[in-house]
Amino acid sequence: MKRNVAVRVVGPMGWIVLPALSCVVATILLATPVKLFGLHLPELVFPMVLAFAWPLIRPSMLAPAVLFALGIFLDIFWAGRLGLWPLVLLGVYGVVLAGRPLLIGQETPVLFVWYASATTVALTVAYAIVGIGAGNAPSVLTFLGWLVPTLLLFPLADRMVERFDDGDVRYR
Amino acid sequence: MAFRDGPFENLKVPLVWTAVGAVVIGIVAAVLLLLSDRRDGASPYGAVRNGGDAAAGPVGGILAAPVRFVGSVSDAIGGYFFAVEENRRLKAEIKELQPWRDQAIALKNVNARYEAMLGIRTEPAVPLARARSISDARGPFARARLIDAGSAAGIAVGHPVINEHGLVGRVIGTSGNVSRVLLVTDVASRIPVLVDRTDARAMLTGDGSGNPRLEFVRGFGSVQSGDRILTSGDGGGLPRGLPVGVVARGIDRSWRVKLFSDRAAIDYVSVMKFQDFSLLVPPEVLSAPPLAGLPDAPPPASGSTAVAGAAR
């Protein structure tokens, strides 16, 4: 007798398109000109979460293309040089994709070390590119002010990996 | 047949390689974009940027509306409860400023006389365009804002932007109804300035922090903490004398400037439709002798001539 097995298929809409749109919305929301207790809203690079989580969830041709588009959006929205954020995001994606065989099934602390390392290296490369392009090094303290909040986004990446990893039985 | 033995059995390897291919193509494209782009008005992708700004502007305006509403309600409540204290403070301030006003009127009169005597060609009045900040699109390595006035209001790339306290930045991109302002704190910002006390020249260089650096200060002892910094107008990009901020020592022992424009939230701004004075005036007028500015003396009356001759 044939048994009916519930097969959960998570399409690109669920793990690529909707998270990407969420990042765009969150980035725009954080650009609201508001000061709380004399401080601006934090400057977070939300797509860094996707650049880390997507290659762990599943290799895909669509994910790098969407990351590229997200990077272009960040460049235009933040008035940076075109190409900077696509390069940074795809760099993280490529590194994590290369380390995927080592990372699959690892504990959360190991994933955090990888996330922190990849994000730190990527933002340092961006720091160098911006510094060379402008002929002027950005403030190191300010750089840390960008890096630390982005590192604090790791729980989102971890949640995404748990939510969508092996979500489609065809890739088990 | 088991599912793993089906047509998806060999999907994993091609997927990885296609993903790697997409990453490589994306990185190459990103590097090419990076090498070919610039952040100032000379960017070859200016139309793309302006289109993005034109789309982001209305969204930012909608998001900023509730923030402004809450701010205005908060101001109204604060104004109601602190009206007496505010009134007392304003009266004291008026009393303090009245002698300054009288001095300013007297100095303005003397200055106008000197200008006429020396034939100094002062800069023409700069028309202003008012705008509101609708998006604080700051990100890592970028300090910029969108304002809700663009080329339709006569704003062009390079125009300086000020608020009621001082210099905010300059326009680096315009579309129909939205402009992008590069703040003086941005890494790419360079503003020629002078120290009010000593007239020493320097360069105000943004580094992404809230207090830009003061570099290339000329002269020994020409700057100290508390000095006022103004725009020097050197290079013709900005008018001379716009208030910028006050000098302070940074924690890295470099000279930094506390910006006047940070005294309050940057909400309403004025865009100065400034053009280099030397480009507005014909070169032969600029090269005229200094006393050419004086009006010609009227011809002496015949009676006074006769009196002068008789006296001799």
Q: What is the ipTM of this complex?
A: 0.85
pLDDT score for B253 = 85
Task: State the average pLDDT over residues B39-46.
Answer: 69
| CATH code of the domain in which B230 resides | 2.40.10.340
This prediction's pTM? 0.77
- In this model, does residue B47 exceed pLDDT 70? yes
Shortest Cα–Cα distance, B132 to chain A (Å): 11
Q: For residue B179, tell me if it sits in a domain.
A: yes
Q: For residue B111, tell me if it sits in a domain.
A: no
Q: For residue B96, tell me if it sits in a domain.
A: no
Q: Shortest CB distance from B187 goes to which of A59, A138, A146?
A: A138
Q: For residue B241, tell me if it sits in a domain.
A: yes
Task: State the average pLDDT over residues B104-112.
Answer: 93
The whole-angstrom separation of Cα B215 and Cα B237 is 18
Mean pLDDT of chain B: 82
Q: Shortest CB distance from A136 goes to which of B16, B23, B205?
A: B205
pLDDT score for B55 = 80
Task: State the average pLDDT over residues B129-156.
Answer: 85
Q: For residue B60, tell me if it sits in a domain.
A: no
A141: confidence class by pLDDT, cuts 50, 70, 90 = confident
- B262 touching A, CB under 8 A? no
Domain count within chain B: 1
- B180 touching A, CB under 8 A? yes
- A126 touching B, CB under 8 A? yes
Q: For residue B48, tell me if it sits in a domain.
A: no
The CB-side HSE value for B225 (13 A sphere, CA atoms) comes to 5
With H, G, I as helix, E, B as strand and everything else as coil, classify residue A164.
helix
Least confident stretch, B126-140, B215-229, B268-282? B268-282
Contact residues, chain B, for A139 at CB < 8 Å: 207-209
**pLDDT tens per residue across span B163-193:** 888 999 999 888 888 898 999 999 889 999 9
- B138 touching A, CB under 8 A? yes
Q: Shortest CB distance from A43 goes to which of B29, B34, B138?
A: B138
CB contact under 8 A, B34 and A123: no
SS3 labels along A36-56: ECCEECCCCCCHHHHHHHHHH
- Domain range for residue B173? 128-280
| Unique residue bearing structure tokens 């508390």 | B226
Q: For residue B242, tell me if it sits in a domain.
A: yes
- A29 touching B, CB under 8 A? yes
The whole-angstrom separation of Cα A157 and Cα B304 is 95
